[in-house]
Amino acid sequence: MAHSPTPSVDNFDRKILDIVQVSNRTTSDQIAEQIGLSPAAVQRRLKRMRAQGIIQADVSVINPKAIGYAMTFVVQVTLERERVDLMHNFKKEMNANRSVQQCYYVTGSSDFILIVTAVDMEGYDNFTREAFFDNANIKSFQTNVVMDPVKVGLTIPIDDQQD
Amino acid sequence: MAHSPTPSVDNFDRKILDIVQVSNRTTSDQIAEQIGLSPAAVQRRLKRMRAQGIIQADVSVINPKAIGYAMTFVVQVTLERERVDLMHNFKKEMNANRSVQQCYYVTGSSDFILIVTAVDMEGYDNFTREAFFDNANIKSFQTNVVMDPVKVGLTIPIDDQQD
DNA sequence: GGTGAAAACGTTACGAG
DNA sequence: CTCGTAACGTTTTCACC
């Protein structure tokens, strides 16, 4: 965390990002037409932004139900002690745990907030056992069952700016 | 919620999903080699899964910092009354609000849990004003500032199964 | 499901502004 | 330094087996 390799995102980049973050299978020709650039220029910019880490990844979003993961949970975890090494350990565990879709370290009432998927309640129960009860440093956790995933995804508001 | 349109996801499909949910720019040849199928077969399966909605979307994940969205928040919202029409309204508003990355309707202590991005604290303040204070049906909300987005994304654990 | 040809797409080199 | 055009290599698509 010591270097920022010059963002350099202009308005053309922003327009491209706004499109690909919704659908990255949009062809360069389509993007080019929409933003008023040549297909090659669009490709060059995409390649540059992927290399620079502005575009972090290109992924398919899978319908959880299609593969039997019918339930989603939002879990708030409070640690016993906020020691740096224990926290680092917890982060590593969450990264490794395939049931954990997302994990945020937050300020406020709890320490971590997780988005967890499971096949069913029994599957979630197993997850809590493995992830929490076997962990001495976890003070408490509170579960919210998701009844409706109103909005999912990681779309970021991208607006034009005057550079 | 009355019909499941025949999942029909076999182990080849699962292996393909496991790859494309991490990187959907992997070529059919690469996937084919990894799972032991021909490139054309892989393509056919991908096309089918996209048509069936098993693959919901194909998106680029953008680094929020690259476009100036440096802060993330987890917000828990409690409504005054859980009336169906008011809830439906709230869902629509969250879907339309570009600051709201994710929105879950949950059971438990609060009604909705949001993941919100903002340029800075002032941007978040503006968001709360527009989204919450102008809404008579919102009882309370509690904000957690994300200090470390330990794990983001929507990867789902996909394992082989015996069909 | 596999094979191969045709079409579409992404990539790169070149010249121009 | 970045654009657009055009040639090139790769990938996807589709008809057929």
Per-residue pLDDT, A163: 58
Structure token digits, residue B17: 């999903």
From the list B55, B48, B60, B57, the residue with the least C-alpha distance to A31 is: B60
Can you list the domains of chain A with their CATH numbers?
A: 11-51 (1.10.10.10), 64-145 (3.30.70.920)
Give this prediction's pTM.
Answer: 0.90
Residue B115, CA atoms < 13 Å, CB-side half-sphere: 26
Which of B28, B59, B127, B145 to mutate against chain A (most A CBs within 10 Å)? B59
Cβ of B39 less than 7 A from strand D: yes
CA B11 centroid distance within chain:
24
The strand ranges marked E within chain A are 55-62, 71-79, 100-106, 112-118, 138-151
Q: CB of A137 within 8 A of CB of A79?
A: yes
Which DSSP string corresponds to B41-53?
HHHHHHHHHHHHT
Task: Encode pLDDT of B68-110 as tens digits.
Answer: 999 999 999 999 987 889 999 999 999 999 999 999 999 988 7
CB atoms within 10 A of CB B116: 23
Q: CB of B54 within 8 A of CB of B13?
A: yes
CB contact under 8 A, B56 and A74: no
Using the Cβ of B155 and the Cβ atoms of chain A, whether some distance falls under 8 Å is answered with yes
CB contact under 8 A, A60 and B21: yes
In percent, the amount of chain A with pLDDT more than 70 equals: 94
Distance CA A106, CA B73 (A): 8
How many contacts (CB atoms, under 8 Å) link A and B? 239
Using the Cβ of B103 and the Cβ atoms of chain A, whether some distance falls under 8 Å is answered with yes
CB contact under 8 A, A57 and B58: no
Task: Encode pLDDT of A126-155 as tens digits.
Answer: 999 999 988 889 999 999 999 999 999 888
A57 to chain B: which residues are within 8 Å by CB? 22-23, 60-61, 153
Cβ of A50 less than 7 A from strand C: no
Using the Cβ of A158 and the Cβ atoms of chain B, whether some distance falls under 8 Å is answered with yes
**Is residue B16 scored above 60 in pLDDT?**
yes
- DSSP-assigned beta bridge partners for residue A58: B60
Which residues have CB under 8 Å from A88's CB, separation 6+? none
In percent, the amount of chain B with pLDDT more than 70 equals: 94
